[in-house]
């Protein structure tokens, strides 16, 4: 029975890493950056606003598209897909770990990566924090598989 249980551990950790990568990606719809003053009536902006740009009234651009923020949300999703597709490959696991950890680190650096059209002090919102945490948890679970399972 113990041997049968051990055979499920790699799949469980891979699926957990994939789930964390997918959750980190979908946190793009959560509040990502908060400013200390109101910008045209808004103070909190979602990840999709700061990632792909945000324009009000077709003439007032608040945020421009940010390549760093795109990578912050895209890397965990790519890491999840690499983890599932290349489950039995050590190189694929290493790539998945690198993608997820990099995406998590970029999520924590969201205030520096935002390409705003104004000057102001930004702070991390819950979406960026949870995206970084879930991406790093996914990277850790896939990393455990990489370093422990020497197949």
Give the model's pLDDT for residue 25: 95
How far is CA 25 from each of CA 71, 116, 120, 133, 137, rounded to the nearest angstrom? 10, 22, 26, 12, 13
Comparing C-alpha atoms, which of 101, 103, 99 is closest to residue 86? 99
Measure CA of the first residue to CA of the last residue in the chain; give whole Å.
21
Residue range 2-148, CATH number: 1.20.140
The average pLDDT across 95-99 equals: 95
Give the model's pLDDT for residue 59: 80
Q: Where are the domains of the chain?
A: 2-148
Q: Predicted confidence band at 136 (pLDDT cuts at 50, 70, 90)?
A: very high
For 114, list phi and psi in degrees, rounded to 5: -65, 135
The average pLDDT across 66-94 equals: 92
Q: What's the CA gap between 22 and 75, in Å, rounded?
A: 10
Q: What is the DSSP letter of 8?
A: H
Give the model's pLDDT for residue 77: 95
Q: Which of 64-68, 74-78, 102-106 shows the lowest per-residue confidence on average (mean pLDDT)?
A: 64-68
User: pLDDT of 5-55, one tens digit each?
Assistant: 667 788 888 999 999 999 999 999 999 998 887 777 778 888 998 899 888
Q: What's the CA gap between 102 and 57, in Å, rounded?
A: 35
Q: Percent of the chain beyond pLDDT 70? A: 94
């Amino acid at each position: 029975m113990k041997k049968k249980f051990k055979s499920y551990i790699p799949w469980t950790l891979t699926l957990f890493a994939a789930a964390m990568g997918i959750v980190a990606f979908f946190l793009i719809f959560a509040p990502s950056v908060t400013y200390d003053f109101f910008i045209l009536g808004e103070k909190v902006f979602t990840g999709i606003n700061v990632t792909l740009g945000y324009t009000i009234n077709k003439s007032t651009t608040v945020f421009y598209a940010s390549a760093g923020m795109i990578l912050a949300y895209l890397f965990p999703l790519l890491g999840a897909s690499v983890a599932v597709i290349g489950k039995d490959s050590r190189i694929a696991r290493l790539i998945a770990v690198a993608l997820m950890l990099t995406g998590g680190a970029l999520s924590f650096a969201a205030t520096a990566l935002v390409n705003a059209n104004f000057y102001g002090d930004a702070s991390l919102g819950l979406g960026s924090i949870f995206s970084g945490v879930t991406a790093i948890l996914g990277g850790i679970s896939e990393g455990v598989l990489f370093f422990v399972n020497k197949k």
